[in-house]
Amino acid sequence: MATITKTQSNTFKALIRKTGLPTQIKTFKTKADALKWARLIESEIDRGVFIDRTEAERTTIGELIERYIQEVTPLKRSARGDKQRMLFLKKHFGHYKASQLQSKHIATYRDKRIAEGKEGSTVIKEIGSLSHLIDISIKDWGIPLINNVATLVRKPKQAIGRDRRLKEGEEQILLQAARNSKAILLAPIISLAIETGMRLGELLSLEWINIDLRKQTALLPITKNGESRTVPLSKKAIETLKNIPCKLNDSRVFWTWKRPDSFENVWRRMLNKTEIQNLRFHDLRHEACSRFFERGFNIMETAHISGHKTLQQLKRYTHLKTEDIVDKMNAHGGF
């Protein structure tokens, strides 16, 4: 039977002792709340579904985030970005006890971020990080939470995927501007992106030891989805690689940039010197995948080159020209 006592600070302490279980103690503002909690705990004990929530009630989300940054973040390829995101989440949720965090708190955060003008994909990634934190806390660290409240929150809508492709003459303008740049590897990295569909991070981590010029392949040991991938290289890609100067103390092909953000700065400065508008480096991946299809590669072949895992993912990056499809239909005399 629970014992309810009034404290000197005019609160009510509920205490439950049960053989074989740790003593349960919790303080409430009113006696009614203390009795309600005691009845709930005793009912769970009687039904054999009781979970000791003590650790969840004394551990804050902020403490869990700090542990996550120490133990989990370093294992990720994007550790720097992950740490920044987790520290940002700590500012918003760090004060909550793990047992107090509810889906409504996360939903309020979601709505606030959207109101601030953040893209749905950004907010989804943030909530996904919070969800992963809770999963790790439950499964690996033994924090006694009934469920992962982040999974109960409705995801915001994502913006329609970009369909930016290179317009007529833009590739030549882009390459000429790159050649005029002080960055000697800017033109080669642009050419290779268009020829292979590699992501910027994959290109920056590409090493000479993983390139086989005879077999015309480039091995990417670690990619965005955590798997390795061997990318076939066209004749143009091979010629581009052969003309890239090596650096003795750096095994990477594109040794002039250590991080994507340093490359992006060079990319923006170059574009500002042209009339090309609204073009991101990642759009070159769109362009490459679209060209693969236009050259007659099927879905499996294109996915093998690009590393996309599903057709839905591939569709986000592939935008075929309708007029080309019409020409293909007419070439076969219609249906």
Catalytic residue among 282, 304, 316, 319: 282
The band of 324, judged by pLDDT with boundaries at 50, 70 and 90, is low
Question: What count of residues does the chain have?
Answer: 335
DSSP state of 287: H
Task: Report the top-level CATH class of 170-331.
Answer: mainly alpha
Position with higher pLDDT, 253 vs 258: 253
Q: What is the pLDDT of residues 110-129, one digit of tens each?
A: 999 999 989 898 999 999 99
Placement of tokens 């700090």 in the chain? 66
The reply to whether 332 belongs to the active site is: no
Q: What is the pLDDT of residues 231-250, one digit of tens each?
A: 999 999 999 999 999 988 88
Lowest mean pLDDT among 90-99, 114-123, 151-160: 151-160
Catalytic residue among 199, 229, 286, 291: 199
| Count of beta carbons in the 10 Å neighbourhood of residue 203 | 25
The reply to whether 109 belongs to the active site is: no
Catalytic residue among 229, 286, 291, 308: 308
The reply to whether 317 belongs to the active site is: yes
Catalytic residue among 91, 224, 273, 328: 224
Residue 222 has pLDDT above 70, yes or no: yes
The band of 332, judged by pLDDT with boundaries at 50, 70 and 90, is low
What residue segments make up the domains of the chain, in order of their start? 3-50, 58-152, 170-331
Residue 299 has pLDDT above 90, yes or no: no
Q: What is the pLDDT of residues 177-191, one digit of tens each?
A: 999 999 999 999 999
Placement of tokens 């995101």 in the chain? 85
Structure tokens at 202: 């994959």
Average pLDDT score, the chain: 87
CATH number belonging to domain 58-152: 1.10.150.130
Catalytic residue among 110, 229, 285, 291: 285
Distance CA 242, CA 247 (A): 14
In degrees and rounded to multiples of 5, residue 93 shows phi and psi of -120, -5
DSSP state of 3: E
In this prediction, residue 197 carries a pLDDT of: 92
Helix (H, G, I), strand (E, B) or coil at 14: strand
The reply to whether 224 belongs to the active site is: yes
Distance CA 219, CA 211 (A): 6
Percent of the chain whose pLDDT exceeds 70: 90
